[in-house]
Amino acid sequence: MSRRGPGLALLWVGAVALATGCGSQVAPATTPSLRVQTAPLSTSLVTPQGTWAVAVMGGSAASENNFWQLFVRPAGASRWSLVTPEGVADNGGLVAAGGAGGTSLVVGFRPSQGLAFSPLASSGDTGKNWTPGLLDADLADVPDAMAVAPAGQTLALLHDGSVETAATAAAGTAGQWSRLTTLSALAATAPGRGCGLVSVNAVSFGPNNVPMAAGSCVRRGVAGVFADTGGTWQAAGPAVPGGFGGDQVQVLGLARTAVGNAALLLAGSDLLAAWSDGGHWTVSGPVAAAGDEQSVSASGFGADGSVWVLLGGGRAETISGPGASWQALPSVPSGTATLAPGSGSGAYDALAVSGSKLTVWQLTGASWTKAQVISVPIEYGSSS
């Protein structure tokens, strides 16, 4: 099915009737003792197809002139292309996850324009063609709100902290999704009580395709990562280094990589990266985050387990994997919305946004070099 054709929109519209029966979602529990922080939707990820990036372009969100876009740099290529699935409003944001066996990408649309469900789209040819699907609820506003196991099983984190599962993300009907857990149910388990879980921020799969969830905890010195083993949720680490035992820990990101699961943690005002080989977690040293309420403006993981974060004031920090140290990149170009791993070791692209123009900068030595400019056809006012 062509990305440019009307068929995708028609199939999504036909699925609306299946989703309108779902009730309104309940906001997750909050507590004044912890200001829950989550990673923004702007991110990048790497699959065997290539490297993908998600960023918002256009104008004011208040005027519904913000349009989220998906870009891809195919494996072995040096240039990026616009591949946003057409036919559905994307003002609410996009969530992307590597598909079954890494041979496809799944994109979820966060609800906007009064919709109470999330259309899905999957592609196995770097975004040239998209197949529609449907999640009969609303995705959470976090980059790791979806995860896909090699066999195709899919997890979806909803805005109220519930987790749903389906045999495949290319579900054409709403009835293929079922509830795996809720925030209150997970918080009521022994490990949930042990950390004082107040928010679920990410989902992933662990060894043997075990579903995983991670979030923010009130109890100090505990990282809330959980694994569903045989229908029972268990604490899945990592142990927080002793120097952070007095800090509340929030998991900002959790992703499956070639070296196992990788996580990004916020402990107090410091960021930590962590990696699991299936039985043991390795936790990095800290890097100081900005002092404002939203310290991380974008973050993501590389296929090799690398982690990157975009901070305020043009700061960017990366870490290559277990045993490595955080490295500061040169100050990023103005307007940088997200970073993406480059084609070489330690290489990165910076994707900068100005209205409807995307500029790609490549890190060359100690400086950024302009490599590409993409003009995105944005129809301002089309969503109001």
Domain of 58, CATH number, reads: 2.120.10.10
Cα angle, residue 258 at apex, residues 140 and 3 outer, rounded to 5°: 55
d(Cα 338, Cα 333) in Å, to the nearest integer?
Answer: 11
d(Cα 203, Cα 211) in Å, to the nearest integer?
Answer: 7
Position 357 in a domain: no
Query: What pLDDT does residue 61 have?
Result: 64
SS3 category, 16? helix
Q: Which of 326, 346, 362 is the last residue of a domain?
A: 326
Query: What pLDDT does residue 81 have?
Result: 98
Query: What pLDDT does residue 294 have?
Result: 56
Whether the Cβ atoms of residue 138 and residue 249 lie closer than 8 Å to each other: no
Query: What type of residue is 319?
Result: I
Query: What pLDDT does residue 165 have?
Result: 95
Residues 154 and 187 in one domain: no
Position 363 in a domain: no
Structural domain count of the chain = 2
Position 380 in a domain: no
Position 373 in a domain: no
Residues 189 and 319 in one domain: yes
Whether the Cβ atoms of residue 208 and residue 151 lie closer than 8 Å to each other: no
Q: Which of 280, 307, 326 is the last residue of a domain?
A: 326
Residues 119 and 58 in one domain: yes
Range of 254's domain? 182-326
| pTM > 0.75 | yes
Query: What pLDDT does residue 321 have?
Result: 94
SS3 category, 120? strand
d(Cα 301, Cα 308) in Å, to the nearest integer?
Answer: 6
Residues 136 and 265 in one domain: no
Tens place of pLDDT for every residue, the chain, 384 residues? 333 334 454 444 444 433 433 333 333 444 448 999 999 999 999 999 999 999 999 876 666 678 999 999 999 999 999 999 998 888 999 999 997 667 889 999 998 877 788 999 999 999 999 999 999 899 999 999 999 998 889 999 999 999 999 998 765 455 589 999 999 999 999 999 999 999 999 999 999 999 999 999 999 999 999 999 989 999 998 999 989 999 999 999 999 998 899 999 999 999 999 999 888 999 999 999 865 545 899 999 999 999 999 998 899 999 999 999 999 999 999 999 999 999 877 899 999 999 999 999 999 888 999 999 999 998 766 655
Give the single-character DSSP code of 59: S
Residues 86 and 173 in one domain: yes
